[in-house]
Structure 1
Amino acid sequence: MWSRVSAAVVGAVLVVGLFGAPAEAAAKPSKVGLITFTGASLSGTKASLSLRWPAARNARSYELFLSTSYSGVMKAKVHKRTSKTSITLTGLKRGATYFVTVRGVNGSKKGTRASRVGRTTIASQGSGARASRSVTTWNLCTEKSGCTSGGGAWSRRQAAFQAFVKARKPSVLALQESKVLASGRPTAVPGYTRAAYYSSKSLFLNPAIYGVVTKGDTTREQLDGTVRECREADDGRYGCLDLGGGKYAVWAEVEDLATGQHVIYVSVHLTSGKGDREATVRRTETTRLVDAVRQINPEGLQVVLAGDWNSHRNRSNDWQASVLRSAGYRDAYDLARSVGRQHHNSYNDWKTTPTTSVTWGDHVDKVWVVPGRTVVTRWENAAPMSGSRYAAPLVSDHNPVLVRLSLD
């Protein structure tokens, strides 16, 4: 009898040694790291979102929580369980905002939930029948005192800018604080054609993709000893828009050389400042921009609004976004089928270490499009990287935002 009991005890010890401690002694999983949205889709009225997260230490599985409320997601019941570190959520409402969080599980032990991250599903999209085109919006920071003190003279940064353009070959460059490129000489943006310029806002075109419907300068800046007036061309196909208070946008109607499609591109730079007073000014500027675009576009052409909007979704007074949505535009980020480096701020403050914003990402640089007539295949913070840092020298205190799209 004694030998049988001893054998049982020894066997139990061996089982524990081979297969680990009982569930109640399992180690608690570590907190799940930052969740990243990797993709989105829309089929009929149902949308999907794909996301991933870093593996948590000691986690054998994961519980995902989902809600349309930022506070509600912390109270929600488990939406999905998975042993993987990625998942695609299907059957979601289109154009709806969802918040997610994830925690690791090891037996009866549950880890700390990840920080809450939000994403809006695709509201609607075009046919995607036309060829893909790309637009990069970029505040180059070439004229303010902080530009040279932070990044050095433009001559030091110019090669990095030109290398980006050569590597990525955007169809359109919508630039702000770009007075250094005002001359429009070929050396300004090699291989590109300037479509419009005024008050430091520029539009440059890849001549292999787009042609300027009406060529000409639209500037009253002092250039080569000549003062030109800010005005629309005689046929109204390019020009600048007065937003009040010394703020302007430039626009150009361009022709897609492959398809003959005409598109209006706009480069804009709104008033800076975080307070409600500045936010009210930006709302007024945006209202004037929307009204002005309607006037120059009686034919109802596709419109792409790109620029430095000096606000983002994390701010409670991001009122200009409501103006744009009411006018039928959507942030290309919210329509993108895939996204890159969503958590890296588009403003880098001359630092090579990326600043991370969790819930939405602080993207003050945006591209707005008409959702039902556009397929956005890719949105990305396109700053060149060197490992986990931005590559030096930095071109600007802003990162380029690149959007790839198909315009019906």
Structure 2
Amino acid sequence: MSGLPRFLALVGAGLALTVTAGVLAATTDSEGNGPVLAFAGIETPYLKLVSVDVEPRQVSLAWAGNGEQYRVSLGDDLARPDRTIVTTEPHVILPAPDAADPQGKVNYRVEEVTDDARGLALEGTVTLLPSVPRKPRVRRTAPEGAVVRWKPADYATTYDVAVSRSRKKLPSKVKRLARGGTAFATDALEPETTYWVRVRAVGEAGVSDFGPATKVITPPDTSEFTVGSWNICSEACPDYGGRVGGQASQVHAAEIDIMTLQEAGGERVGPTTRAAFSGGPRGLVPADGGGNSRYILYSADKFEQLGGGRWSLGHGRWATWARFEDLKTERPFIVVSVHLLSGHGKTGERASEMRSLMGSLASVNPDGDPVVLAGDFNSGTHRSGDTVGPVVRSAQFRDTVEIAEETENAQVNTGSRRGDTAIMSADHVDHIYVSPDWEVPAWKQWASLSGTTYVGTWLSDHNMIGATLGLERDPEDAVERPSQVVRVPADLHEGSPGTVN
């Protein structure tokens, strides 16, 4: 070949090699694979993962390779996968929950299939987020706390609990259960307050969203109400029909919650008594089981009667009793209306009657519920040889007039006077005794006086008395074992909803 033709041939060959190299460089990846090489039949088999996306309920895989078909498997044990699919596409989306282990881990394999023989394969592991917990249920409330439970969430190792006073807003910090479990107990709440409780699951991949909120209303710590007592002298004193309306008006105006009456009438005037004293601002209703001239009336809006009846005390004397449940504190208690035998020389008989009452009370109160003893005891510290007081005090009862934080007209004798002149002896035959469970904010005697002289309409030979009592919720209702927690931020939604290994 002459010089010029040979030169042109070499230049042409160089240009062809340059163009070929450029095409190969433009269409070949870093591992030497590409469509030109595949077309030329010089590309080696390859398979590589492009992306893995983890959603709470599924796994998305994408890969690059030069195989004709691919088998994709998911499962805890890939030798026996839970899910398998064969596809010609380089990507797949598979539901994952059934293929995960209890911690949410899912193994995957992408393998090339050629003539039913396995070729190249890729394997890895993803971890799913835990599922969103269901709405928790309130199992118990107390003035200072509550206990809630919920069903287990998939792939959860523990839970975060958000306690808020807003249904829509989360607190900045939430409580993570240090020991796991599906219950949360707290003793850090306030009485008579509304809270909202939400739960989210915590797993190896992160946290779920918070589930729906549950309303928790804590009950009051203490209930306060007034118990009254009055010997109304219905039949032994004249003109009961003219007096009973004024007596009832005084009871209703005083907003008594539980009223105990003595000398309130038997078969003849008992119906008149019950009708006159029923109703009023507190909606008083007669307690079942009352009678023998001793009655108990109560506010059905505040209490539920659980039982009641009468006890014979001997010497023709009776006591009426009723067991109530305080609707605020859900605590049961007993009220007794009593009228012991009168007469200065009857101390022995009264002591016997009082011991009989205490025995009957013990028979209906095996659990030691709080008790109120109210009535005309015909006995007091002013009477020498008093035997009733020692019996009552030996049973740990206290006279409310002696322990009340505030008193009114305590210096006036409740059942004795000289004509229209009050006896200012601070001695009483009418008493409201309480067991140790009660607080006594106030005690009052209704005595309309000008100096030491009674004024106004004469209603009875005794004055009405009332004690404002406080009853705490049973200490056994307290949350004794609050959950062990650590505080974590409420906002933890960072990164992907799962992890890839």
TM-score bracket for the superposition, by shorter chain length:
0.5 to 0.7
Judge conservation of contact 1:129–1:406 (CA < 8 Å) in 2: no
Check conservation: 2:424, 2:452, Cα contact below 8 A. Answer: no
Aligned in 2, Cα 1:197/1:306: closer, same or farther, shift over 3 Å?
A: same
Which residue among 367, 372, 377 is the counterpart of 2:432? 367
| Contact 1:329–1:368 (Cα < 8 Å) also in 2 | yes
Equivalent position SS for 1:131? strand
- The change in CA–CA distance for 1:182 and 1:250 in structure 2 (over 3 A counts) is farther
Match of 1:286 in 2: 354
1:132 alignment partner, SS class: strand
The verdict on how the C-alpha distance between 1:185 and 1:405 changes in structure 2, with shifts beyond 3 A counting, is closer
Question: C-alpha separation between the residues in 2 aligned to 1:382 and 1:129?
Answer: 30
| AA in 2 matched with 1:368 | Y
Q: Distance in 1 between matches of 2:332 and 2:455?
A: 36
Report matched runs for 1:40-79 at 5 Å: none
- Alpha-carbon distance in 2 for matches of 1:315, 1:256: 36
Structure 2 counterpart of 1:335, one-letter code: I
Correspondence for 1:307 among 370, 375, 385: 375
Which residues in structure 2 correspond to 1:325-336 (within 5 Å)?
325-336=393-404
Give the one of 173, 186, 192 matched to 2:284: 192
Instruction: Report how far residue 393 of structure 1 moved.
Output: 1.5
Partner AA of 2:330 in structure 1: G
Alignment of 1:318-397 (within 5 A): 318-349=386-417, 351-357=419-425, 361-371=426-436, 373-385=437-449, 389-397=453-461
Amino acid at match of 2:352: T
Are the equivalent residues in 1 in contact too, given 2:257–2:284 (CA < 8 A)?
no
Q: Give the SS at the match of 1:325.
A: helix
Q: Secondary structure at the match of 1:283?
A: helix
Taking only the aligned residue pairs, the percentage that are identical comes to: 33
Give the superposition deviation at 1:348. Answer: 4.0
Aligned to 2:296: 203
Q: Which of structures 1 and 2 has the larger relative contact order (alpha carbons within 8 angstroms, sep 6+)? A: 1
Give the Cα–Cα distance (whole angstroms) in 1 for the partners of residues 295 and 468 of structure 2: 19
Report the AA paired with residue 198 of structure 1: G
2:250 and 2:451 map into 1 onto residues whose CA distance is 17
Matches within 5 A, 1:3-402: 129-144=221-236, 147-148=237-238, 153-179=239-265, 180-182=269-271, 186-190=275-279, 191-195=283-287, 196-213=289-306, 237-275=307-345, 278-349=346-417, 351-357=419-425, 361-371=426-436, 373-385=437-449, 389-402=453-466
Q: CA deviation at 1:296?
A: 0.6
Bigger share in strand: 2
How many Å apart are 1:130 and its aligned residue? 1.1
Secondary structure of 2:431 counterpart: strand
Structure-1 separation of matches of 2:458 and 2:323: 31
**Is contact 2:244-2:273 (8 Å) kept?**
no
Aligned partners of 1:368, 1:129: CA distance in 2, in Å? 23
Counting matched residue pairs gives 246
CA distance in 2, matches of 1:365, 1:184: 20
User: Is the Cα contact below 8 Å between 1:382 and 1:400 reproduced in 2?
Assistant: yes
Q: Which runs of 5+ in 1 are unaligned?
A: 1-127, 214-236
Measured after TM superposition, the shift of residue 388 of structure 1 is 5.6
Q: Which residue of 1 aligns with 2:32?
A: none
For 2:337 and 2:229, locate their aligned partners in 1 and report how far apart those are by CA, in whole Å.
8
Q: Offset of 1:143 from its aligned partner?
A: 1.2
Secondary structure of 2:290's counterpart equals strand
| Kept after mapping to 2: 8 A contact 1:136/1:402 | yes
Q: CA deviation at 1:169?
A: 1.1
1:304 offset after TM fit, Å? 0.4
Counterpart of 2:297, as a letter, is F
Cα distance change of structure 1 residues 167 and 386 upon mapping to structure 2, 3 Å threshold: farther
Given the two structures, how large is their TM-score scaled by the length of structure 2? 0.47
User: Unmatched 5+ residue regions in structure 2?
Assistant: 1-219, 473-501
Q: Assess, with a 3 A threshold, how the Cα gap between structure 1 residues 380 and 136 changes in structure 2: closer, same or farther.
A: same
Q: CA deviation at 1:385?
A: 4.5
- Output the CA distance in 1 between the equivalents of 2:333 and 2:274: 24
Superposition TM-score, scaled by structure 1 size: 0.57
Q: Residue type matched to 1:192 in 2?
A: L
Q: CA deviation at 1:186?
A: 3.8
Alignment partners' CA distance in 2, 1:197 and 1:171: 17
Question: Aligned partners of 2:433, 2:460: CA distance in 1, in Å?
Answer: 22
1:262 Cα deviation (Å)?
1.3
- State the distance in 2 between where 1:287 and 1:301 align: 19
Distance in 2 (alpha carbons) for counterparts of 1:156 and 1:268: 25
CA contact under 8 A between 2:311 and 2:319: conserved in structure 1?
Answer: yes
Q: Note closer, same or farther for the CA distance 1:386–1:302 as it changes in structure 2 (3 Å cut).
A: same
